């Protein structure tokens, strides 16, 4: 195991899927030499078939669910639009069951061969500073507030086998800025404001108090393409004063087709012994080679200014 821990690990983060998953994605991940793949959720609108396809991939993995994964269940307006009989089917539970141990929402999955534990934050998050969908969270998880949500996340941290923690959420934590283009900034009217999850932020603080090292916090939900302007993209990466890298992986659409040729994107983080050397957004072509790579972060030359808030 010592030799494995000294090896550079490649971790792929798959941003919001929104029904864009194909068998070629697994081939691409294997071609990239990925050791671990993380999914930030929003597989589709309770798209059980998409979750089923992803759950069968033969690569070590962990996943959380996004708001679209409870699209017809968590909200009153969603239930009114539901295209199936909810007295006969529970597609939210079906998705959770399909992932099994790989679903880490309010839980953890240990990867001692990589010297890290993945901790999942609140599943099905819509984001923002208000506690929403009280009935859904109470019935599904017995959670009634941000404070109780934080406590569940921290309980998973306490059970972690490894000291190095990767936090995996759908929406990012509060505290990464309140401009519309910040990693979790509100980019719709009224524009501006921190739309991060307070329970996620507090869980990070408490995990540090437990002595855990947090090299990576990754999430999606807030798409890189901004709603109010096409002149620039959302800031997708940040580093705080503790050296934690925050990565928004929601490059949507994640599969594009140009002149009959498809490209698919993955965020790739390279790490060894709990230290991140590089993070990049890569696009893989039809022949499973990397056709473009944008270096988002490099330990040898940081491309971001440290965040002061976490």
pLDDT of 101-130, one tens digit each? Answer: 999 999 999 999 999 999 999 999 999 999
Q: How far is CA 90 from CA 82, 119, 180, 184, 258, in A?
A: 11, 25, 36, 30, 38
The SS3 of residue 4 is helix
Q: How far is CA 232 from CA 187, 207, 228, 236, in A?
A: 12, 34, 10, 12
The SS3 of residue 134 is helix
Instruction: Answer yes or no: are the C-beta atoms of 195 and 143 closer than 8 Å.
Output: no
pTM (two decimals): 0.95
Residue 307 confidence (pLDDT)? 40
Residue 300 confidence (pLDDT)? 82
> Would you state the structure tokens that stand for residue 47, as one six-digit string?
């798209």
Residue 84 confidence (pLDDT)? 97
Q: Which residues in the chain come in under a pLDDT of 50?
A: 1-2, 305-310
């Amino acid at each position: 195991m010592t030799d494995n821990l000294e090896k550079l690990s490649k971790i792929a983060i798959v941003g919001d899927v929104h029904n864009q998953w194909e068998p070629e994605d697994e081939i691409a991940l294997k071609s990239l030499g990925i050791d671990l793949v993380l999914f930030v959720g929003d597989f589709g609108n309770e798209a059980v078939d998409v979750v089923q396809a992803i759950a069968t991939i033969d690569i070590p993995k962990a996943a959380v669910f996004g708001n679209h994964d409870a699209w017809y269940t968590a909200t009153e307006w969603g239930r009114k639009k539901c295209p199936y009989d909810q007295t006969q089917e529970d597609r939210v539970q079906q998705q959770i069951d399909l992932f099994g141990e790989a679903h880490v929402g309010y839980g953890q999955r240990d990867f001692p061969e990589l010297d890290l534990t993945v901790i999942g934050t609140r599943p099905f998050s819509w984001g923002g500073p208000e506690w929403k969908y009280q009935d859904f969270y109470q019935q599904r998880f017995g959670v009634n507030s941000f404070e109780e949500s934080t406590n569940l996340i921290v309980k998973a941290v306490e059970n972690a086998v490894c000291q190095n923690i990767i936090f995996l959420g759908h929406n990012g934590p509060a505290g990464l800025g309140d401009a519309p283009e910040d990693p979790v900034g509100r980019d719709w009217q009224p524009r501006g404001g921190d739309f991060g999850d307070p329970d996620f932020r507090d869980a990070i603080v408490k995990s540090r108090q437990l002595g855990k090292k947090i090299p990576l916090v990754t999430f999606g939900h807030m798409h890189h393409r901004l709603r109010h302007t096409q002149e620039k993209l959302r800031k997708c990466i940040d580093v705080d004063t503790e050296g934690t890298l925050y990565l928004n992986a929601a490059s949507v659409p994640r599969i594009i087709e140009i002149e009959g040729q498809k490209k698919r994107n993955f965020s790739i983080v390279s790490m060894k012994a709990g230290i991140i050397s590089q993070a990049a957004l890569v696009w893989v072509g039809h022949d499973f080679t990397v056709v473009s790579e944008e270096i988002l972060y490099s330990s040898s030359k940081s491309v971001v200014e440290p965040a002061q808030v976490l």
